[in-house]
Amino acid sequence: MTQPFRIPGAGRLTPAKIARFTFDGKAYTGLEGDTLASALLANGVHLVGRSFKYHRPRGFLSAGAEEPNALVEISRDATRRTPNVRATVQELYDGLAAQSQNRWPSLGFDVGAVNNLLSPFLSAGFYYKTFMWPKAAWKRLYEPNIRAAAGLGVAPEEADPDHYAARFAHCDVLVVGGGAAGLAAALAAAETGVRVILCDEQPEFGGALRYESGARIEGLDGYSWARQAVEKLAAMDNVRLLTRTTAFGYYAQNFVGLTERVTDHLASPGKAPRERLWQVRAARVVLATGAIERHMVFADNDRPGVMLASAARAFLNEYGVAVGRTIGVYTANDSAYAAAIDLKKAGVDIAAIVDLRDDPSGPLVEQARSLGIEVNPGRAVVGVGGRQRVSSMIVQPTGGGGKRTIPIDALLVSAGWTPSVHLFSQSRGKVAFDAGSQRFLPGLYAQDCRSVGACNGTDGLAETLNEAFAAGEAAAKATLGETSAGGGGNAPKVDASEDWAGGMLGSAPGAGADTTVKAFVDFQNDVTAKDIRQAVREGMRSIEHVKRFTTNGMATDQGKTSNMHGLAIAAETLGKEIPEVGLTTFRAPYTPVTFGAIVNHARHELFDPTRRTATHGWAEAHGAVFEDVGQWKRAWYFPRPGEDMHAAVNRECVTVRRSAGLFDASTLGKIEVVGPDAAAFMELIYTNPWQKLEPGRCRYGIMLREDGFIYDDGVVGRLSDDRFHVTTTTGGAARVMNHMEDYLQTEFPHLNVWLTSISEQWAVIAVQGPKSRDILAPLVEGIDLSDAAMPHMSVREGSICGVPTRLFRMSFTGERGFEVNVPADYGQAVWEAIWAEGEKHGACAYGTEAMHVLRAEKGYIIVGQDTDGTVTPNDAGLDWAVGKKKTDFVGIRGLKRPDLLAPGRKQLVGLKTVDPKVVLEEGAQIVQDPNQPIPMKMIGHVTSSYWSENCGRSIAMAVVAGGHGRLGETLHVPMPDGSIAVEIVSAVFFDETGERLHG
């Protein structure tokens, strides 16, 4: 018989709707609507995992999101392999394939379980103590072995093929949690007509009403009332209902993150996204997040078959599954009685209820007794039999005395309920300890939200519905600017409910202070009561230290079942009250969130866009190899058949100086500075003087930060009295714009100037070389290109190929050169026209590598390569560009700082290797004496270094201490295979007089 633990007539699933699945390769059947956990339990499977540290056999503790043990891997195919899925949350679908984790070679026989025998060496803080020395062994030996032996699932190696959706949503009232409280709050809010979002992590609304058989509301059983409430809400246009949706993070100003699991429960996900991330901004938030049952802390309380009473009840009433045939109950509160009663009524044998309390009473206790269930008050379970499945419980009076062993195959435990204040705490609300009920409850609110029901410590269904209804109504009315009577007068009427009084914190008798048994507090991280006591003995006083030393509550379940027990044990050991010891901080996410949901659409091009210039297609067609410069793709070099990079760059460099070359300079930043005070603004932003620059002329400008260091540079053309065309470095385009705007808006707001980024408006084609004018002349209209009419460093407006152009005569190569600015849409067409002319003169296209070599041959710096944020204009040999008569510019005071004027600063120089064939490494350090003892005194480093075909030798630039005064000196560059002798020279290696610039 399949599913031997499915009870006919119990639960709400349809027996005919079979779903097949496998666990560790073995085939099983379950029912549609099952979770993987309920389906496995229906088949009598309790052993589903091995614990993190000791590899102890583990089963299901819970039936929900708090599950610490039952983590499995779900794989749809090779790429869709999800580790660490809680089997209690994963819904069953036909064909589901699940694997257990953290075991080898099999779940039943796990070699790593030897850790359990070694546990004296693996106690609290073992990471910090055992593996401290030798340091190198950590990386080589300890860490890989610990990782292999103790761990969670294995991350998939292939890229995630699924897609994820994202939505921003706004609402008046967000209700988190769709149990009795959440439904009541949502009903009240929705009836006012405001926009309401109600979300719940479960596949179905109802919360505890899904299993709480004793509740009756408005004449219906609790579950039916919940269904009716959902139908009512679903019919309202102002309400959005989200199931399978977890509110995982509560951020500032009522910004709440939700993840909706869209297809993880479907056999065929189709094209739908796997998950949807909701970023909700709510005017008001109602938290109805409920409470989580705690386990009892006693010896070997982690044996498969030991589970929360509420879980067993959910498995029975929702899924029709009995978690055993002969079930024991160990409790300190009344709610476990309800579980025993339901199971008993379903025909399951309840061996005995063991209650820590001396005199339990109340309707549930009486009902249990009247059903003939044996109730043992004033007794504790001090141990269990069985290894891979619990087989008996050992019962002893709490005051000591004779032990009795009762055979069982499942043990339901309940130490009471912990209010889920996670989101409240994330919202920066301050929790307060309620001594009477021994609970942390919402205290001081930090945001506009209210907690209702169990998460607010409100016991009793009627009180919960009244409170929730009133809060929902008040929240809605507040957004409408109305005040609410807030009495909850129209709240759904409760006809019957269960009383869940009682509870205890910390270790139970038999796992007390002087025992060494393994009584688990945190199942997922294998933290025992003894570990926490040891942490206190070893000097941990703050709960934050205890937490980190023991790792209690630090696993992926974030201590949902363990935090309060751990805190109570620490407090008891310290001899302090719980609030004195404090509560650890709750952090997002409430339950694990996939990277896919967070990353969402921001992958590939949508994460980091690629920017391409107007001539990209042409360059591609002409064989360009591209390099990434920031987000830009730039043509690096244009190899011809048979050429490697070196050969291509050499040819390009030689061709430019012999004939001409075309270069796409479009990526340079371009800013238009316009207005009556444009020149005054330029004076303040740049070191150079600008007032006297005539329209039609250009100037190389340097921009500093206030500290006096070079920030950016570029050629600036003055188009008219009130209009400058500024260029910046490629990488500096955005920040220079920001820098200029900052000063214009905040320091110099009196200036009448407008700044416009025009980087993407103009395509820039550099035509460089002795033939550049001959190439352009046939294409340009309305501009006299003669040296007399248009000398070096001038700018003209006219047209080229019938397209408007801003034509600069400027050079970054040291040759006669032009930069043709045309509207970007015409960039490729104009390039092609110039190229056709260029070919007649033997010109080439050249890339960024040749550009770098050509500029280095002339000693032109690249900001960010030859400067590093600590270089002044003087250091760079650019003192001439600082206006000596100016009374203000950004950086003027910084330049006067004593250290910037002191002798011995690193200054930019040229280097020639004594052996001209040797090309230095960029970044290599420079020393005076290569024979000095190590560590050597380093006096500078190489900033740029190339082979220069035009010079027939290697060339390099460097910053060297006192470099300007060292011309002619020989220094040394120590390298692993010997020292390289270099001579300090002027940084101009080619055409030192600069006559080629002028034609």
Partner 1 sequence: MLLIRCPYCEEERPELEFRHAGEAHVVRSSDMAEISDEAFEQFFFIRSNPKGIVFERWRHLHGCARFFNAARDTVSDRFLATYKAGEPKPDVSKFAADAGPAAYANVPPAELNDREGGAKQ
Which residues in this chain contact partner 1 in the complex, by CB under 8 A?
251-255, 279, 281, 283, 428-430, 444-449, 478, 706-707, 738, 741-742, 745-747, 749, 887-888, 892-894, 896-898
Nearer to partner 1, 211 or 748 (CB): 748
How far is the C-alpha of 232 from the C-alpha of 187, rounded, in Å? 8
Nearer to partner 1, 71 or 431 (CB): 431
Nearer to partner 1, 423 or 957 (CB): 423
Nearer to partner 1, 450 or 771 (CB): 450
The dihedrals phi and psi of 425, each to the nearest 5 degrees, come to -65, -40
How far is the C-alpha of 673 from the C-alpha of 841, rounded, in Å? 37
Q: Measured from the CB of residue 603, what is the shortest distance to partner 1 in angstroms?
A: 18
The dihedrals phi and psi of 634, each to the nearest 5 degrees, come to -120, 140
Nearer to partner 1, 133 or 168 (CB): 168
How far is the C-alpha of 926 from the C-alpha of 971, rounded, in Å? 7
Nearer to partner 1, 257 or 488 (CB): 257
Q: Measured from the CB of residue 896, what is the shortest distance to partner 1 in angstroms?
A: 8
Nearer to partner 1, 185 or 352 (CB): 185
Q: Measured from the CB of residue 248, what is the shortest distance to partner 1 in angstroms?
A: 15
Q: Measured from the CB of residue 582, what is the shortest distance to partner 1 in angstroms?
A: 18
What element of type H or E holds 373? none
Measured between alpha carbons, how far apart are the two ends of the chain, in Å? 97
Nearer to partner 1, 694 or 899 (CB): 899
* CA 959 vs CA 707, 917, 944, 984: distances in Å: 19, 21, 10, 10
The dihedrals phi and psi of 880, each to the nearest 5 degrees, come to -60, -20
**Residue 526 tokens, joined:** 């294998």
Nearest CA to 918 out of 941, 940, 947, 960 is that of 947
**Residue 235 tokens, joined:** 């019919």
Q: Measured from the CB of residue 610, what is the shortest distance to partner 1 in angstroms?
A: 20
Other CB atoms closer than 10 Å to residue 337's CB: what's the count?
Answer: 32
**Residue 998 tokens, joined:** 């002028």
Complete DSSP assignment for 332-390: SBTHHHHHHHHHHHTT-EEEEEEESSSS--SHHHHHHHHTT--EEETEEEEEEE-SSS-
Other CB atoms closer than 10 Å to residue 131's CB: what's the count?
Answer: 16
Q: Measured from the CB of residue 753, what is the shortest distance to partner 1 in angstroms?
A: 14
Nearest CA to 913 out of 978, 848, 992 is that of 978
Q: Measured from the CB of residue 553, what is the shortest distance to partner 1 in angstroms?
A: 24
Nearer to partner 1, 449 or 984 (CB): 449
Q: Measured from the CB of residue 720, what is the shortest distance to partner 1 in angstroms?
A: 25
Q: Measured from the CB of residue 602, what is the shortest distance to partner 1 in angstroms?
A: 12
Return all residues near 671 (Cβ < 8 A) that are at least 6 apart.
726, 727, 728, 733, 736, 737, 740, 755, 756, 757, 758, 759
Look at residue 294 and give its three-state secondary structure.
Answer: coil
Cα atoms found within 13 Å of the Cα of residue 729, Cβ hemisphere only: 18
DSSP β-ladder status, 49-50 and 57-58: antiparallel
Look at residue 155 and give its three-state secondary structure.
Answer: coil
How far is the C-alpha of 69 from the C-alpha of 57, rounded, in Å? 9
Task: Please answer whether residues 386 and 264 qualify as being in contact, where contact means their C-beta atoms are separated by less than 8 angstroms.
Answer: no
Nearer to partner 1, 430 or 640 (CB): 430
Look at residue 674 and give its three-state secondary structure.
Answer: strand
How far is the C-alpha of 114 from the C-alpha of 118, rounded, in Å? 6
Q: Measured from the CB of residue 339, what is the shortest distance to partner 1 in angstroms?
A: 38
Task: Please answer whether residues 729 and 700 qualify as being in contact, where contact means their C-beta atoms are separated by less than 8 angstroms.
Answer: no
Q: Measured from the CB of residue 167, what is the shortest distance to partner 1 in angstroms?
A: 14
Other CB atoms closer than 10 Å to residue 1's CB: what's the count?
Answer: 4
Nearer to partner 1, 381 or 449 (CB): 449
Q: Measured from the CB of residue 451, what is the shortest distance to partner 1 in angstroms?
A: 12
Beta-bridge partner residues of 245: 260
Nearer to partner 1, 271 or 750 (CB): 750
